[in-house]
A and B are shown apart, each in its own frame.
Chain A
Amino acid sequence: MTGVPHLQELTDKFRDKGFEIVAVSSEDAALIQSKMIDAKKPTFGVVKADISKLYETRGIPHSWVLDADGKCIYKGHPSGVTAEKVTEWVASLAPTKVDKELAKELNGAVKAFDKGEYGKSLNETKIVAESATDELVKADADYLMGLLNKHVNLTKNKVEGASAAGDRVAQVKALEEGAAKFKGSEIGGTWDTEAKELKKSKEYKDCNSAATDLEKLRPKLEDMKPANARKELEKIAKKYPETPAGKEAAELAKRYN
């Protein structure tokens, strides 16, 4: 708990640039409320959850930093998460706020951007870019278009990543999230259509069924006889061989010999 000022400082400096803290304790909510929330008044995220098995450590406090794609880029004592490191990490992120004053013609587009309505912002920016005669206004429109493109690429990367992994469920989720952010724009409409089409595909249904079956089976595995556990896992693996959950089931089955 001595590290609260450090976490607060990072939050004050970097939250509006896309850096978030999730301070996790498995203790009683009442204890977290009194000893942390009321006593220290942090503005960063505080969460009650038991993650001791997922995020293993011998000593507390300990921290992990995940990048925009959810990949771990740091593990160690929280004091090692310096302002210099965070500056570097957030540099590549798509900003969530327009960070400078732009021409007043773009007021509507900027307002929409700051609210996360990228579809609306994109449409309005395009109109300004096409109709502007003033070079400065044009340059500002290009700048805003650049910020919007980062968000477009963020969704594209997520969709491609899920597609490459054969994870149609994650792919649909990424498309739907992108469609919601870019609602009303051409690209938003394209993603919405792609999500709907993909949801109808056998591949998506298989991914979904395999994941559902595996999650149903998982908590029961420990109480089953190994031969039965293997049989049930192999059933899923055989029925849905090309899905992430099917592959995981095949891996799990190897343990029950």
Chain B
Amino acid sequence: MYRMGAFALLLSLALGAGVLHAGVEVGDQGANFKFDKSWNVPQGFTELDQYRGKVVMIERWATW
């Protein structure tokens, strides 16, 4: 019974995560994140929220 409960919880978490962290869509408020390391960002900037007042383009990229 507890195992079934745990399964239901996992399922609801997975579904719930879809609602809470469904990625940012047009019209949504952007999600803040902290920088683990940064290059060429404005002085003292360590997280996305500091870009308020500017237009900021977030690009996800990879070296591969």
Contacts and interface: CB of A to CB of B under 8 A. Distances in A.
Interface of A: 1, 3, 7, 10, 18-25, 27, 29, 31-33, 35-37, 42-57, 60-75, 78, 81, 86, 89-90, 93-94, 154, 158, 222, 226, 252, 255-257
A213 to B, nearest CB: 18
Nearest 3 pairs between A and B by C-beta? A56-B23, A45-B41, A54-B31
Contact of B57 (A20, A27, A31, A94): A20
A55 B24 contact: yes
Given A55-B24, A93-B53, A35 B63 contact: yes
Given A18-B55, A255-B16, 19 more contacts: A1-B63, A20-B57, A25-B62, A25-B63, A31-B63, A43-B40, A45-B39, A48-B38, A53-B21, A55-B24, A57-B60, A63-B58, A66-B30, A68-B52, A70-B51, A72-B27, A75-B25, A93-B53, A94-B53
A66 B58 contact: yes
A43 B60 CA distance: 17
A68 B54 contact: yes
Interface residues of B, number: 43
A56 B17 CA distance: 12
Interface in B31-60: 31, 33-42, 45, 48-49, 51-60
Nearest to A92: B55
A94 B41 CA distance: 19
B44 to A, nearest CB: 12
Which of B9, B23, B48 counts the most A-chain CB atoms under 10 A from its CB?
A: B23
